[in-house]
Amino acid sequence: MNNARQKKLMWVIAMLVGVAVAVGLILYAIRQQTDYYFDPTAITAGKAPENKRIRAGGMVVAGSVKRDPNDPLNIQFEVTDYKAVVPVTYRGVLPDLFAENSGVVATGELQGGAFVASEVLAKHDENYMPPEVAKSLKAEHAERGTDVNNGQFIPATSMAEIDQRQAEQSQNQAQAQSDSQTQSPTQNESHAPQ
């Protein structure tokens, strides 16, 4: 083989190796960024992998949103597909559209039966439901033989309303404790032997 042909062959081989490496890196990156979606039923059935990044979605259970009083960025709530419920823990600021009885998709890891979210996405408007959640709920209704469009959903509760409700409950509990402490001595005096 002459020298010019040998150089050309080396360039072609180098280009093919370069393209193969580039395609391999692209496929690796895509595989690493792929988050598989699981609904609460699949998660509770053990189909979701532990300690691997996944997406979980469903509807936020009414009354399940709890904030840590010492650290309001620590939030716990539950997500349901109306067949199963999965507890979710999230540290951060929730989206403005996050509300009870509304659709949510969270990205994170399943750790010991609880879902630890690193990102929470909320619905866009009154009629929006994440596609994965809609598909899951549609399948559930098909299994039960009910019509998805006739389903009655409780209106969403905004985070402001949830925070206000929790503050009122705390005030009521404090007031009840205060009342019981002020009534205790007078009740004891009336029952004291004379």
Binding-site residues from annotation = 124, 128
Asked whether the CA dihedral 7, 12, 13, 14 is positive or negative, the reply is positive
Q: Which residues are annotated as a binding site for heme?
A: 124, 128
User: In the structure encoding, which two tokens stand for residue 15, read together?
Assistant: 């280009």
Query: Would you say the C-alpha torsion 144, 126, 100, 44 has a positive or negative sign?
Result: positive
Burial of 180: CB neighbours in 10 Å, binned 0-12, 13-18, 19+: exposed
Q: Is 114 exposed, middle or buried (0-12, 13-18, 19+ CB in 10 A)?
A: middle
DSSP designation for 74:
E
One-letter amino acid at 1 equals M
In one-letter notation, the amino acid at residue 133 is V
First to last CA, the chain: 124
Alpha-carbon distance 75 to 30, whole Å?
31
> If 0-12 CB within 10 Å is exposed, 13-18 middle and 19+ buried, where does residue 172 land?
exposed
Distance (Å, whole) CA 95 – CA 105: 11
